[in-house]
Structures are given as C-alpha cells and as structure tokens.
Amino acid sequence: MHRFFLLLLSLFCFASLALSWNQQQFREPENYEGSSDLVNLQYHMGPVLAYPINLYIIWYGNWNPSHQATIKDFIDSLSSAAPSPSVSDWWRTVGLYTDQTNSNITANIKLSGEFRDTYYSHGRDLRRLTMQSIIKHAALPLNYENGVYLVLTSADVQVEDFCREVCGFHYFTFPVIVGATVPYAWVGYSGTQCPGFCAYPFAWSKYSGKPPPSTGNGGNNIMKAPNGDPGVDGMISVIAHELAEVSSNPLVNAWYAGDDPSAPTEIADLCVGVYGSGAGGGFVGQVYKDSWGDHYNVNGVKGRKFLVQWVWDPVKRRCFGPNAMD
C-alpha cells in the first residue's frame, strides 16, 4: 500500500533514469514476473482472513449509481463463477496464503451491507484516522468476527496522502474509536483528482512527460476502461489490491516483505503495474482487448470485464494472474 507511489513513479521513470533509491529493493517490475528469490516475503505469525468475509461498503459522499453498480459487480465476481480467466480465478492466488493453523484465506466474500454517507459526516477533507470515525458513524453491524469494512470516497473528497502517496490503504480499527478491532480499507475515486496516478493505465500522469509505452495492439498507448470510466475502472484494481492485502495481512502482522512493519511491502505491492505476462518497463503485460477496444484481463459476473493487477504467488514465487500465458 505505501509503496504504490514509489512503484508507479519507477514505472514511469526507470527506463530513462537510474533510480538508485529504489533499485536495490524493487528493481524493475519485470523482475517480479520472472521467479525471484530476491523477494523476502515472510509470514509473521499473525492471522489471515480464513473465515468467509462479510464485506460492508460505506459510500462516502456523492456517488454515481452506475459507478456503484460496477464496483458491486466486481465484489460479487470475487466468489462467483464467470468465464475463465475470471475474477474468482484471480482471487485463487490470494487463497494460497495460510496462517499458523494451515487455514487458507477464504474464497468466500459476500457483500453484507452498505451505508450511504451522503451528508459527508466528517467533511470533505479527511485524515487517515478519520476513516475509523466514519466506520463508527455508519449504520452497519459491528461484525468483529468476520467483518471487513470498505470506505469509498467520492470525487470531491480529499484524503490525507491521496494522489500524492497512495490511492488506497488498509489497516484495522482501534477499539477506543470503533468499539472493536476490525480490518478495513479505504479507496478514493481518482477520476477527477489524479487519474494519471491512481487510474493508470487508463490515464497517464502529466508529470511522466510521455504516455505509457505502446501496448503492442496497434499504437494506441492509452488503454480503454472496460466499464467506461477510467476513475472507476482504476479504482477496481486498487480495491482488488487492498482486499488481497487486508486478507493476507489484516492486523499487519502476517504476510509482508521487508523489515519494517510500519511500511510493509505486501502481496499486491510486489506486483504494482503488472497485469499480464511480460510486464515491465511501464508495459502492463499481455492483456485482452475486446471488439470495442476495451482492455481487460479477467471476466466477472453479468458479462463484466475488469483489469486487475496481479499479486505475488507464494508457491510460484512470482507475480501471477489467471491470464498468464504460461
């Protein structure tokens, strides 16, 4: 989660710049597509989300119903059948992570409740910690057994570090604020604030100076969003990223690489910018393009298509997704 910015920046820049500050630890993303023993992902003995997940969404601010429908269809797709390669096939890599009792992360994620915070209960300029008060304020059950809370902020909401360092993050609540310790994640709608940063590769950063390298699909360098909105389609990949990480590191004491638990490199951080085979150098990898020119790598419910980043596979020891060519 914290590395999102550094990795994106390196995607844009490393072709022309020697980035000494991150080269040692991360190198180019393509290094992760090939098997790597350099990645020191470790299990730190804490729990993973092994029980069926009851997911609660808090729609903070003013949301477009069609954007909400896209996101809810993605959530439904995580544990529903769809043509291969599917979103649930993608989640299977997450399901390879286990805890001390050898229990795998669950394959069962159910949208169990929604709350619309249409009156911006905590204003339009939020601190990270404020997410916990927003969860407390929501008229939703406090499910401390298997609840996960997802706060999604609308286009007009500023969040600390949003668009500068992060596109989303996950953590757990403090009993003194919320009344229990429950895992949660936040993701912001970046469509107007910073699509080039958080909705890559459907938009590119003006700071990168040039568009992403050719997709190899006929010279159109910018990818078309499969559900028609770069902000929402970009959010889907960030939501996928955060759900993979909150499940494998819910209390920030389970699966991560690096020595610093306050800045862990987690299972999706290792694969930022990788969506298909051959990814690297700003190239997102081999993905599909439908007859309308939309780019995607997985299928979901209701004929939906999504583009989600890959996650680190602990068995293959490389980034992996169901659209892999090998």
Ligand X SMILES: *[C@@H]1O[C@H](CO)[C@@H](O)[C@H](O)[C@H]1NC(C)=O
Chain residues that interact with ligand X, rule: CB under 6 A: 95-96, 98, 104, 314-315
CA angle 36, 236, 103 (to 5 degrees): 55
CB 290 to ligand X: min, Å: 30
Q: Which residues pair with 170 in a beta bridge?
A: 185
234 vs 250 by CB, closer to ligand X? 250
107 vs 111 by CB, closer to ligand X? 107
135 vs 240 by CB, closer to ligand X? 240
Spatial CA neighbour of 181 closest among 146, 144, 129, 147: 144
Both tokens of residue 117? 């915070």
CB 247 to ligand X: min, Å: 13
CB 310 to ligand X: min, Å: 16
DSSP 58-76: EEES---HHHHHHHHHHHH
201 vs 314 by CB, closer to ligand X? 314
CB 104 to ligand X: min, Å: 4
Quote the radius of gyration of the chain (alpha carbons, Å). Answer: 18
CB 96 to ligand X: min, Å: 4
Spatial CA neighbour of 56 closest among 119, 110, 102: 110
DSSP 106-141: PS-EEEEEEEEETT-TT-SEE-TTHHHHHHHHSSS-
97 vs 172 by CB, closer to ligand X? 97
